[in-house]
Structure 1
Amino acid sequence: MMGSKLDGLLSQLGTGRWNIIHYLALSYCVSLPAYHTLAGAFLTPNQEFECLPSAHEHDPNTTLTFLNTHLSKQGSCDYLEKNIMTGETIKRACKHWSFDDSIFTSTVTSEYRLVCGREYLRATYTSIYMFGVLVGSPLNGLLADKYGRRPTITIGSLVYFVIAVGSCWLPTLSTLLISRFLLGTMHATIMKTGYILAMEVSSPRVRSVLGIVLFLPWALGTMAWGGAAYLIRDWRWLQLAVSLLCIFFLPTLLLLDESPRWLVVRGYHTHALTVLQRAARWNKVDLQPPHRINQIIRESQNEVRTGTAGRGDACVGQSLLKEYCCSAFILFRSPRLRVITVGMLVNYLVVGMVYYGVSLSGDHLSKDPFVYMVLMGLVEVPAYTLMVPVVVRCGRKAPTIFFFFFSGVVLLFLPFIPRGCLWVVVTLAMLGKMTITSAFQVLALYSSELFPTEVRIRGTSIAFMMSRLGSMASPFITEYLGARHSWAPSVVFGAASVVAGLATLALPETLGAALPDTITQLEDRALLERSRNVLRLLTGEPGRWRVCRCRDGPSSGQHLHICLAHPPCPRSHASGP
């Protein structure tokens, strides 16, 4: 199979200077969106304020009485104006406020007066970014699959940098919200495409470790975001400072290569050979002779064309909107791919909802917003580090199911904790946060291995898009549902986690399996797996049957079939995944 042949070439390359440059550059790239994703904590905080009636609205013959409302902590949205001479009292709406600047000297909340009927715009500031991610994820998948990983990352990171810096000086709230939406559309370009490129240039031996550790900079970026906000209390200078960090990533774009796997799948064989030879020189290893590498690539060409016929190419030549929609429906056209797609959509929807929902419910951990942000990142560090030996030894499927079930049980147990045991509630909430973060990280690796190369970016981007739907729904669950029934958010999040764990039972394990490059390979593998299970059931000997590859002749391609594990296959057979 082409997947195993390409993995064989990447195994020969090993992990050297060429791979490490890609890993370092792309992991730094992954940390950059953390500041803007979590910007609402410091740019649109819930500040204390007081009403300042305009001078022309009252005269010396009046006295003022303020009406405290639920919209503020110590401020006022209305005031009573009582005329001393007539005794008449008039209720007036406040139009000017004085904001507490003891923590923040300047915020979007205070500058644009997001209080008293406008406080929903604070939530909008965060949710519109998520909405941009929702819109941009499938479009990013389409562009990266069609035009390549490297051009998509290059253009996306440049646009992200320009918008992030430019938004620091926008004069109106409406333009600021538009810039937030545009930043969100570029989010998946940096996060998902960068992640996929790192996975596709990695050796199979380190792919499991890399798939988890690559997101560690996100947790470090979260902690750094808390530190930067502590040092810089003006929102415009704070956003400018973290946006300028993109400058350090831009020069590394000159060192990144296109994914050899994508080049082979798309038919750019000469370019693929050039990239592999450059990687061999940088890693100081000897690959097979060029004619042998070209032979491997050419043998893959017919398989790719056969596998993509009527699927990936069916959308080419249509309008952008039709191609956009068609690319999404491709993921539902074959049985195994349909199961994978539905399972990933459910998992990502739940993990996004629970991840941000638990975060929004944890404000009682600290009254200091800077310490709280650092703690958020610190809790996630074990999820990015301890998962490495877990996925290497236990695979992807079993840990994902365990983390979903464990998080669900913990969250479902929260409503039964007595109110006096606050430390128990905090401990369980942090366990739930850590386990759902662990599920999030395993899913990133799991989804990149489940989808075939020809639709990998498309599939992972649309799945990632569902996590944004979940994150957009979580504030409504915590604020509106929680205001009516304090126990409801934990029950909703816990039940959703259990449902996601059940949905994962239908997905295949990917540990030790070659990455599928075409939908045909994926379906053939599923068919052979079912046939092997039937033979095991009929013979009653679980270890007797295995999937093998056989070559019909010296110049013919290889085919998968079921063979006996004992005695060993003849010389014309070679065991495979």
Structure 2
Amino acid sequence: MEDDSDTLLTKLGTGKWTIIYCLVLSIWFFILPMHTMAGAFMAPFVEHTCRQPPDAYMATTTTYTLDSNYTTNSNGSLPLPNFDASCNYLVEESDGRLVEEPCTDWDFDNSTFTSTVTSEFQLVCGRKYLRATYQSMYMIGMLVGAGSTAFFADRFGRWLMIAISTVIYTVIAFVTAWLPNFPSILAARFLLGTMHPASLMAGFILVLEVTEMKMRSLTGLMLFTSWGIGTIMFSGMAYLVRAWRWLQLVASLPGLLFIFLLCILGESPRWLAVVGQHQRALKEYKRAAAWNKVTLPPDHEILEIMLRVQQQAVSTRKPYSSNKSLKSIVRNILHDFTVLIRTSKVRLVTLVMCVDYLVGAMLFFGLTLGASALGVDPFLYMAISGIMELPSTTILIPITNYFGRKKVLFINYGISAVVLLTQPFISNDLKWLSVTLVMIGKFASANAFNLVFLYSLELFPTEIRSQGMNVAMAASRVGGIIAPYLINAVDSTYPWISSVLFGAGAAVAGLALLPLWETINTRLPDTVADLEGFTDPLQSPAVEEEEKLQASSGEDPENKKSNLPTPC
């Protein structure tokens, strides 16, 4: 096999260098669930009673008819529709009629939480949709962030993207604890969401780009183990800290530790090689060799490998023109945004991963939302949810190393599809069986959602990896947003309809994987040409397209070819 970036990583092995990258980024994966799922403890449903004004009608003489849901006063005057006493109160007019008025002030039950966003801003009754908005605004921010920051990590580097996004995230998280009004809190939630995909995807990519081939599944899945641990710890924090502003501060403190430790890490050397920063890449490789106590090939051999990698990248990426006209700028921007659909294999990977990310998130968050209807203790439920994440990653590590990514992913989607599609055939008398099958589907969907991250990273080439995975992440946010609507839109008489919809989605996601290939024990593709299998990088479709554009503008294509880097 021709020498490439994976050859150098294999020679470096797995030592202190790789372990430090994994441990530091695990801290960030530990932090993220505390804010992603903050609504469970900061904006929960809180029992409340209407604080009635002095002129409110006292219900001591109110009677309820047996044959209808109507309320009448003791004199049997005109009936009123049965009302929610927690959201409305009655006023008796001079003629004896009862008039329903909306409540404007409430008393909240503080037995579970001493203060919440719900109680502080009175997000109940006619304003209860704002409580859901608090929880969904983060997801909407993630959707926007995944799309708008998709190509920044590929253009400017993984480490820089992580540093910028995590510093902004931590600052906003701290400031949120002091924000005085609800609109500003919603804005902060949105901004946190926009930074989430930038930090998570860039961090995940950075760790796996410094990991040798045989250890990628271990390091990748271990990162998501820290997500489960963070979920468990968040439930413990919320149990001890019952005031939402103090909980917001406590959940933000680990961000300071991460920013401090981030200074230890360096940029991805394989990304540096792709973009032509060979001396920086060489410096990172030498530092890794020193930390791992191994000997690398001579400098000129490493540089030759990096030049070959860069040459392939240049052949499939249209360089920016010196022409600063509006037409040229627009063409460059369109080129960046269409790189994921320009060639056949990249287009296939992009479409399949968007489907699998969307369905994976829909299943993961949808089944979690459906399980919350069980009415269990919120702290216990969050802890159990985190515990369920731990075996899903630890079990996947040996299984995926033996059977491969594609097959295991296909099986997990298949299990989810089967158990969810059987719901209409289960008798109402076997509720325990129905719940058990739904939990099995949730466990399998958690496996799939974790594994699809690793699989997509190994499918997308280095030069567009961040862009491709962030577009797929945007698709997953769509799945997370629509999941609750699928649950709430169906008739409550047939609760299994949502399970059937989720099961059908899992079946589609599994079948979509069939055209893809296995990535176990294969080197990561560094360039689009590498993935597409071009034997001559100068004959790639991107170069042919560029030559046509140059010909139409009077430039000499041969001169452009001569500007490509060549090995020493």
Task: Give the TM-score normalised by the residue count of structure 1.
Answer: 0.85
Q: 1:102 & 1:508 partners in 2: Cα distance?
A: 54
Aligned to 1:209: 218
Q: 2:175 & 2:332 partners in 1: Cα distance?
A: 32
**CA deviation after TM superposition for structure 1 residue 397, in Å:** 0.8
Whether contact under 8 Å (1:142, 1:324) holds in the other structure is no
Aligned to 2:548: none
Which of these residues, 78, 89, 93, is aligned with residue 79 of structure 1? Answer: 89
Whether contact under 8 Å (1:229, 1:370) holds in the other structure is yes
Aligned to 2:543: none
Aligned to 2:32: 33
Aligned to 1:354: 363
Larger displacement relative to structure 2 (59-68 or 39-48): 59-68
Whether contact under 8 Å (2:309, 2:526) holds in the other structure is no
**CA deviation after TM superposition for structure 1 residue 257, in Å:** 0.6
In structure 2, the CA distance between the partners of 1:68 and 1:253, relative to structure 1 (3 Å rule), is farther
Q: 2:373 & 2:243 partners in 1: Cα distance?
A: 25
**CA deviation after TM superposition for structure 1 residue 301, in Å:** 3.1
Aligned to 2:451: 442
In structure 2, the CA distance between the partners of 1:190 and 1:65, relative to structure 1 (3 Å rule), is farther
**CA deviation after TM superposition for structure 1 residue 211, in Å:** 1.8
Which runs of structure 2 are paired with 1:120-131 in the superposition (5 Å)? Answer: 120-131=129-140
Q: 2:474 & 2:468 partners in 1: Cα distance?
A: 10
Aligned to 2:114: 105
Aligned to 1:146: 155
Aligned to 2:300: 291
Aligned to 2:339: 330
Whether contact under 8 Å (2:309, 2:527) holds in the other structure is no
Whether contact under 8 Å (2:321, 2:328) holds in the other structure is no
**CA deviation after TM superposition for structure 1 residue 278, in Å:** 0.8
**CA deviation after TM superposition for structure 1 residue 357, in Å:** 0.5
**CA deviation after TM superposition for structure 1 residue 92, in Å:** 1.0
Q: 1:266 & 1:357 partners in 2: Cα distance?
A: 40
Q: 1:29 & 1:513 partners in 2: Cα distance?
A: 28
Identity over aligned residues, as a percent? 42
Aligned to 1:500: 509
Q: Does residue 98 of structure 2 align to residue 89 of structure 1?
A: yes
Residue by residue over 1:194-251, the C-alpha shift from the partner in whole angstroms, topping out at 9 and shown as x without a partner, is: 0000000111121121121221011111111111111111111111110111111111
Aligned to 1:402: 411
Whether contact under 8 Å (2:57, 2:89) holds in the other structure is no
Aligned to 1:10: 9
**CA deviation after TM superposition for structure 1 residue 33, in Å:** 1.1
Q: 1:298 & 1:518 partners in 2: Cα distance?
A: 12
Which of these residues, 151, 162, 165, is aligned with residue 156 of structure 1? Answer: 165
Aligned to 1:373: 382
Whether contact under 8 Å (2:318, 2:335) holds in the other structure is no
Q: 1:315 & 1:138 partners in 2: Cα distance?
A: 25
Whether contact under 8 Å (2:123, 2:130) holds in the other structure is yes
Whether contact under 8 Å (1:63, 1:82) holds in the other structure is no
Q: Secondary structure at the match of 1:80?
A: strand
Which runs of structure 2 are paired with 1:557-576 in the superposition (5 Å)? Answer: none
Q: 1:58 & 1:253 partners in 2: Cα distance?
A: 60
Q: Secondary structure at the match of 2:177?
A: helix
Q: Secondary structure at the match of 1:98?
A: strand
**CA deviation after TM superposition for structure 1 residue 480, in Å:** 2.4
Q: 2:264 & 2:356 partners in 1: Cα distance?
A: 35
Give the total of aligned pairs. Answer: 526
Residue by residue over 1:34-63, the C-alpha shift from the partner in whole angstroms, topping out at 9 and shown as x without a partner, is: 0111111111111111111234x5599998
Q: Does residue 234 of structure 2 align to residue 225 of structure 1?
A: yes
Whether contact under 8 Å (1:133, 1:188) holds in the other structure is yes
Q: Secondary structure at the match of 1:91?
A: strand
Q: 1:412 & 1:330 partners in 2: Cα distance?
A: 37
Aligned to 2:546: none
Q: 1:392 & 1:313 partners in 2: Cα distance?
A: 47
CA RMSD of aligned residues (A): 3.1
Q: 1:384 & 1:314 partners in 2: Cα distance?
A: 50
Aligned to 2:558: none
Which runs of structure 2 are paired with 1:485-496 in the superposition (5 Å)? Answer: 485-496=494-505
**CA deviation after TM superposition for structure 1 residue 13, in Å:** 0.9
Q: 1:175 & 1:342 partners in 2: Cα distance?
A: 36
Q: 1:377 & 1:319 partners in 2: Cα distance?
A: 50
Residue by residue over 1:92-143, the C-alpha shift from the partner in whole angstroms, topping out at 9 and shown as x without a partner, is: 1111111111111111111111111211111111111111100111332211
Q: 2:535 & 2:105 partners in 1: Cα distance?
A: 66
In structure 2, the CA distance between the partners of 1:218 and 1:61, relative to structure 1 (3 Å rule), is closer
* Residue identity in the other structure for 1:43: M
Q: 2:390 & 2:31 partners in 1: Cα distance?
A: 17
Which runs of structure 2 are paired with 1:209-288 in the superposition (5 Å)? Answer: 209-288=218-297
Q: 1:208 & 1:68 partners in 2: Cα distance?
A: 62
Q: 2:47 & 2:399 partners in 1: Cα distance?
A: 46
Aligned to 2:316: 307
Larger displacement relative to structure 2 (91-100 or 410-419): 410-419
Which runs of structure 2 are paired with 1:413-562 in the superposition (5 Å)? Answer: 413-483=422-492, 485-524=494-533
Larger displacement relative to structure 2 (296-305 or 111-120): 296-305
Q: 1:323 & 1:481 partners in 2: Cα distance?
A: 45
Aligned to 1:184: 193
Q: 1:314 & 1:205 partners in 2: Cα distance?
A: 45
In structure 2, the CA distance between the partners of 1:495 and 1:60, relative to structure 1 (3 Å rule), is closer
Whether contact under 8 Å (1:232, 1:238) holds in the other structure is yes
Aligned to 2:20: 21
Q: Does residue 48 of structure 2 align to residue 49 of structure 1?
A: yes
Which runs of structure 2 are paired with 1:60-75 in the superposition (5 Å)? Answer: none
Whether contact under 8 Å (1:308, 1:518) holds in the other structure is no
Larger displacement relative to structure 2 (373-382 or 57-66): 57-66
Larger displacement relative to structure 2 (486-495 or 58-67): 58-67
**CA deviation after TM superposition for structure 1 residue 326, in Å:** 4.4
Whether contact under 8 Å (1:265, 1:517) holds in the other structure is yes
**CA deviation after TM superposition for structure 1 residue 393, in Å:** 0.8
In structure 2, the CA distance between the partners of 1:380 and 1:454, relative to structure 1 (3 Å rule), is same
Residue by residue over 1:415-447, the C-alpha shift from the partner in whole angstroms, topping out at 9 and shown as x without a partner, is: 322223232222212111110010011100000
Whether contact under 8 Å (1:30, 1:190) holds in the other structure is no
In structure 2, the CA distance between the partners of 1:343 and 1:313, relative to structure 1 (3 Å rule), is farther
* Residue identity in the other structure for 1:78: N
In structure 2, the CA distance between the partners of 1:411 and 1:311, relative to structure 1 (3 Å rule), is farther
List gaps (5 residues or longer) in structure 2: 72-81, 537-565
Task: Give the TM-score normalised by the residue count of structure 2.
Answer: 0.87
Whether contact under 8 Å (2:354, 2:475) holds in the other structure is yes
Whether contact under 8 Å (1:163, 1:183) holds in the other structure is yes
Q: Secondary structure at the match of 2:521?
A: coil
Whether contact under 8 Å (2:313, 2:528) holds in the other structure is no
Larger displacement relative to structure 2 (315-324 or 23-32): 315-324
Residue by residue over 1:507-533, the C-alpha shift from the partner in whole angstroms, topping out at 9 and shown as x without a partner, is: 111112211111111111799xxxxxx
Whether contact under 8 Å (2:487, 2:498) holds in the other structure is yes
Q: 2:324 & 2:212 partners in 1: Cα distance?
A: 32
Q: 1:314 & 1:494 partners in 2: Cα distance?
A: 52
In structure 2, the CA distance between the partners of 1:482 and 1:111, relative to structure 1 (3 Å rule), is farther
Q: 1:201 & 1:359 partners in 2: Cα distance?
A: 34
* Residue identity in the other structure for 1:494: G
In structure 2, the CA distance between the partners of 1:371 and 1:59, relative to structure 1 (3 Å rule), is closer
Q: 1:293 & 1:303 partners in 2: Cα distance?
A: 16
**CA deviation after TM superposition for structure 1 residue 453, in Å:** 0.7
Q: Secondary structure at the match of 1:117?
A: helix
In structure 2, the CA distance between the partners of 1:173 and 1:484, relative to structure 1 (3 Å rule), is farther
Q: 2:232 & 2:320 partners in 1: Cα distance?
A: 44
Q: 1:48 & 1:301 partners in 2: Cα distance?
A: 61
* Residue identity in the other structure for 1:276: Y
